[in-house]
């Protein structure tokens, strides 16, 4: 080949690229490859074209000397494939390439396998990726070449460039020179580093790969013919594999036979082997390299007009970066990880979905490590930062970016676990829009009245839509959902500000971040506070709208949802009043509840409502009432499929449950978990039988796991089932037409089990549950209940915590009226309380707070106040249940205190004015 003609052709190709900026990426001249940089002081197009052509030819000479052209029959003495060229180090090859360029030595027709490829239509080498200024490192070819004209230096690489005394035989250690890393290459570099105690080659290889996204994206590629698990369990390649890796024959070169796609298992094994090398050898350099990688990815995704990376390449970079084993070390947390989180924010939704799927399918073993690292970053940032009113947690970019990438991990965690089909969904409940004609007419006169319309379209996460995933479908996530809670963050957050941000259109006003749109990171107690604020705002809005009605004389003011009931007829009175309200104006259900017991003087500031709900629940869920049945084994209640009550009655029970959540009142109900899943919109399935009827579930599970061919004879079960009604009568039901003639076999047992579970949990109580859910939705349709809470959290919201830790209550209790924690009466009080049985402790809670349930988050969230109520006397202790205040006289001794306290909690009932 004539090298002169090559130069002319390259020059013409460069002219073409100069006239068409869309053909090649726009690369800053200061960031040239192969140690060359354009002459920025020259404005002449001719000089620029010459330099570009020269750069391309020198690169070709360099890779030809180092890696060869790939032709095993090559006879070019200046090509490594011919066998005639001596083995050169990268420094020697670079110097020799310049000499060959000036002498116009022979170039092979084919390109070396590891040489950067040119655009097919333009004979100019495309750089791997643009670099950025600042902390970014411009990793280039060895630049210690005195003959190289206008050569820019890489200070970072100069620090680790071995001197002549450190040069090694390239047969044993071959430089990457910008080529992708492989598992075998990491093994070689680590072995050499451990043997020689000199990390320069390892550092250089990691830096070359991790600073350039285009190179990193091609690292650890899956080999042709390999399956995902083909090399699983290999800790180190054998000698034959090592020999293939270092061979100059491209047919045996592992890099030359890699196929498309990232081999995550290979990447993980390589990093596990890297962990054998002392981290002080490479940690600092890798932190810097990862920081540069993040900056380059930001440039590529956000600033670069012409993209040089595909979405798959970009995703591969993040997968590899988060597999680094030392990611949780302090230097990574302080420098590299925040930058990676910022870079991940720029990923388009489709790329985030790809990353989630890869993590779910190939990186299950890494999910906990990544999650713990992100949690550590957030926690350290939260506890070390003093947030003030003008710099809230939501303004902390480090925390918010880590939360955003944790969302990708959250969905990956669901995909990696057990998922159910999205087809098992309850039909949505449609509530007719409740319009207030007068309120609408006043909107233009009184802008305040528009506050009443707080209903917004439910927020739908774009990533969840892209993945086609819903938390209701996650039967068992790979990691427990609770591991995503961050308690320091939940305790620090100002929920009123976060709720305001959530209600603001973040795309239009100030990019306000709201953790309520990332509810997986918040504890149930913190989210319940957000729901409480939202409900209170709606109550106040309804109250103000009622006052506006009164101003214009349109209707008498009704600022509250007022119920007046008799203790002896509490169910009849309550349900009749609620039915009238639901029929006439369902919007009144959104008002603050105020309960009045006929003949009693108690003023409802919350305590009267608590007792009202307790009495209603005790009666309505009593099996004697006939609407619900109690399962003795599981101590739970279930809908009576043969109930004689109307659908309206079940609707009203649903309203009661919704009102309890809306008014922040905990109920003593014992529904199985499937009820809360169904309330959130997910139908019951076979796995829900586990806590609905454990005996039946275990029997069906044994059938499912039975593999014998004689299943039909062993179980002798047909598609006709028998169940017992509330009166003890046996009722038969065919799961399929002529079910009694169809026996359960190995082929149809899964169908039988699914039909059986569907009938018991869905079809048999369809009428009752639909009415019940409709009443529940009438109250909660405008709240963010479904967006914020999983079914397990809704149960906690309704029933409270199950952790009766009175030590927490003692720590959180405040004192008034002269009492302190050191008062003898207080010490005696807590000594008595801690010795009580669980039943008596429940009575104490009932007496002091109006509810025997533990609030969401535990007793530490119950702000009990014990106030001194005079000196020693014969009076019993009293309580203001609305405000959780216990009025306790200063009794003369412990025995008298115990006697008076036990009488008070055992015989308390009713309300009076104190």
Buried/exposed 684-695: b ≥16 CB within 10 Å, e otherwise: bbbebbbebbee
For 590-599, letters b (16+ CB in 10 Å) and e give bbbbbbbbee
Residue ranges of E strands in 308-442: 418-419
> Cβ-count burial of 260 within 10 angstroms (0-12 exposed, 13-18 middle, 19+ buried)?
exposed
Place of tokens 């924690």: 821
Angle, helix 607-620 to helix 570-584, in steps of 10 degrees? 100
Alpha-carbon distance of 776 to 779, in angstroms, equals 6
The radius of gyration of the chain from alpha carbons, rounded to an integer in Å, stands at 36
Q: Whole-angstrom Cα distance, residue 573 to residue 565? A: 5
Residue 597 and residue 613 in contact, taking contact as beta carbons nearer than 8 Å: no
Cβ neighbours of residue 568 under 8 Å, at least 6 residues apart? none
- Residue 561 phi/psi, 5-degree rounding, is -90, 100
Closest CA to 362 of 403, 330, 315: 315
Catalytic residue among 79, 131, 190, 882: 882
Interatomic CA distance for residues 34 and 151, integer angstroms: 9
- The number of beta carbons lying within 10 Å of the beta carbon of residue 788 is 24
> 678: buried, middle or exposed (CB in 10 Å: 19+, 13-18, 0-12)?
buried
User: Which position has the token pair 């979405």?
Assistant: 311
Compute the 3-state secondary structure of the chain and give helix, strand, coil in percent, each to the nearest 5. 55, 10, 40
Task: Give phi and psi for 499, each to the nearest 5.
Answer: -65, -40
Please say whether the dihedral angle defined by the alpha carbons of residues 53, 54, 57 and 58, taken in this order, is positive or negative: negative
CA atoms of 391 and 440, how far apart (whole Å): 38
Picking from 414, 405, 199, the residue whose alpha carbon sits closest to that of residue 321 is 405
Q: Respond yes or no: is residue 882 known to be catalytic.
A: yes
Please say whether the beta carbons of 258 and 224 come within 8 A. yes
- 425: closest CA among 754, 658, 673, 680? 680
Q: Which of 64, 288, 317, 72 is nearest to 180 (CA)?
A: 317
Q: What three-state secondary structure class fits 455?
A: coil
Could you give the CA distance from residue 339 to residue 290 in angstroms, rounded to a whole number? 8
Alpha-carbon gap, residue 548 to 286, rounded angstroms: 65
Q: Select from 347, 482, 474, 360 the least CA-distant residue to 420.
A: 474
The residues annotated with a catalytic role in the active site are: 882
């Amino acid at each position: 080949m004539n090298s002169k003609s090559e130069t002319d052709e390259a020059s013409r190709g460069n002219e073409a690229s100069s006239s068409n900026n869309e053909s090649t990426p726009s690369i800053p001249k200061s960031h040239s490859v192969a140690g060359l940089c354009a002459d920025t002081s020259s404005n002449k197009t001719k000089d620029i074209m010459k330099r570009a052509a020269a750069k391309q030819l020198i690169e070709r000479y360099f890779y030809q000397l180092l890696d060869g052209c790939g032709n095993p029959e090559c006879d070019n003495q200046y090509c490594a494939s011919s066998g005639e060229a001596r083995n050169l180090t990268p420094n020697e090859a670079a110097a020799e390439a310049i000499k060959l360029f000036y002498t116009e030595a022979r170039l092979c027709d084919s390109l070396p396998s590891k040489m950067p490829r040119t655009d097919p239509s333009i004979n100019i080498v495309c750089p791997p990726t643009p670099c950025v200024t600042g902390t970014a490192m411009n990793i280039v070819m060895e630049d210690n070449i005195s003959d190289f004209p206008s050569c820019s230096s890489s200070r970072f690489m100069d620090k680790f460039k071995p001197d002549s005394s450190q040069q090694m035989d390239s047969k044993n250690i071959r430089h990457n020179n910008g080529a992708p890393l492989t598992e075998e290459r990491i093994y070689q570099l680590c072995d050499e580093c451990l043997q020689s105690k000199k990390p320069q080659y390892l550092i250089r290889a990691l830096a070359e790969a991790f600073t350039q996204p285009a190179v990193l994206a091609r690292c650890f590629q899956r080999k042709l013919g390999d399956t995902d698990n083909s090399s699983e369990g290999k800790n180190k390649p054998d000698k034959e594999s090592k020999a293939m890796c270092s061979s100059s024959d491209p047919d045996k070169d592992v890099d030359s036979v890699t196929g498309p796609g990232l081999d995550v298992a290979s990447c993980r094994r390589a990093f596990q082997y890297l962990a054998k090398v002392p981290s002080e050898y490479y940690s600092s350099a890798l932190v810097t390299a990862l920081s540069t990688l993040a900056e380059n990815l930001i440039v590529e995704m956000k600033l670069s007009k012409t993209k040089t990376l595909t979405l798959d390449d970009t995703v591969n970079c993040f997968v590899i970066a988060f597999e680094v084993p030392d990611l949780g070390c302090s230097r990574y947390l302080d420098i590299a990880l925040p930058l990676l989180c910022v870079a991940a924010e720029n990923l388009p939704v489709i790329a985030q979905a790809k990353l989630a799927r890869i993590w779910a399918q190939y990186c299950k073993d890494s999910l906990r490590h990544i999650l713990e690292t992100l949690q550590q970053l957030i926690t350290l940032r939260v506890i070390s930062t003093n947030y003030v009113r003008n710099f809230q947690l939501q303004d902390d970019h480090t925390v918010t970016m880590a939360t955003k990438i944790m969302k990708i991990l959250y969905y990956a965690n669901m995909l990696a676990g057990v998922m159910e089909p999205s087809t098992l969904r309850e039909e949505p409940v449609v509530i007719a829009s409740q319009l207030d004609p007068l309120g609408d007419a006043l909107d233009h006169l009184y802008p305040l009245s528009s506050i009443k319309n707080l209903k917004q379209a439910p927020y739908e996460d774009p990533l969840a839509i892209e993945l086609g995933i819903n938390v209701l479908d996650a039967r068992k996530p790979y990691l427990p959902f609770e591991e995503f809670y961050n308690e320091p963050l939940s305790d620090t957050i100002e929920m009123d500000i976060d709720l305001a941000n959530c209600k603001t259109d973040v795309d239009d006003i100030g990019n306000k971040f709201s953790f309520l749109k990332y509810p997986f990171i918040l504890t149930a107690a913190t989210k319940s506070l957000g729901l409480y604020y939202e409900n209170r705002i709606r109550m106040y809005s309804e109250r103000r709208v009622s006052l506006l009605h009164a101003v214009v004389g349109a209707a008498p003011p009704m600022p509250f949802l007022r119920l007046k009931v008799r203790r002896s007829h509490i169910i009849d009175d309550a349900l009749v009043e609620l039915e009238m309200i639901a029929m006439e104006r369902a919007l009144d259900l959104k008002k603050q509840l105020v309960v009045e017991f006929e003949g009693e003087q108690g003023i409802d500031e919350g305590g009267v409502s608590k007792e009202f709900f307790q009495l209603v629940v005790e009666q309505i869920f009593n099996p004697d009432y006939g609407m619900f049945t109690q399962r003795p084994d599981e101590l739970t209640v279930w809908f009576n499929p043969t109930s004689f009550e109307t659908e309206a009655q079940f609707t009203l029970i649903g309203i009661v449950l919704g009102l309890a959540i809306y008014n922040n009142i905990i109920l003593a109900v014992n529904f199985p978990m499937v009820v809360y899943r169904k309330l959130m919109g997910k139908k019951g399935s076979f796995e829900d039988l586990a806590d609905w009827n454990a005996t039946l579930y275990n029997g069906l599970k044994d059938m499912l796991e039975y593999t014998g061919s004689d299943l039909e004879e062993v179980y002798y079960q047909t598609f006709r089932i028998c169940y017992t009604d509330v009166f003890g009568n046996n009722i038969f039901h065919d799961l399929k037409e002529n079910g009694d003639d169809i026996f359960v076999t190995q082929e149809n047992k899964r169908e039988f089990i699914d039909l059986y579970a569907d009938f018991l949990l869905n079809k048999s109580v369809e009428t009752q549950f639909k009415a019940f859910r409709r009443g529940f939705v009438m109250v909660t349709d405008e709240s963010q209940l479904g967006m914020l809470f999983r079914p397990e959290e809704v149960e906690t919201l309704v029933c409270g915590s199950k952790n009766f830790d009175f030590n927490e209550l003692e720590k959180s209790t405040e004192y008034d009226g002269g009492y302190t924690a050191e008062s003898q009466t207080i010490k005696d009080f807590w000594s008595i309380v801690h010795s009580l049985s669980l039943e008596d402790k429940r009575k104490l809670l009932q007496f002091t707070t109006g509810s025997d349930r533990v609030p969401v988050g535990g007793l530490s969230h119950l702000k009990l106040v014990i106030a001194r109520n005079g000196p020693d006397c014969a009076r019993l202790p009293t309580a203001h249940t609305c405000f959780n205040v216990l009025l306790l006289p200063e009794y003369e001794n412990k025995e008298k205190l115990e006697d008076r306290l036990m009488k008070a909690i055992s015989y308390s009932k009713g309300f009076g004015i104190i």
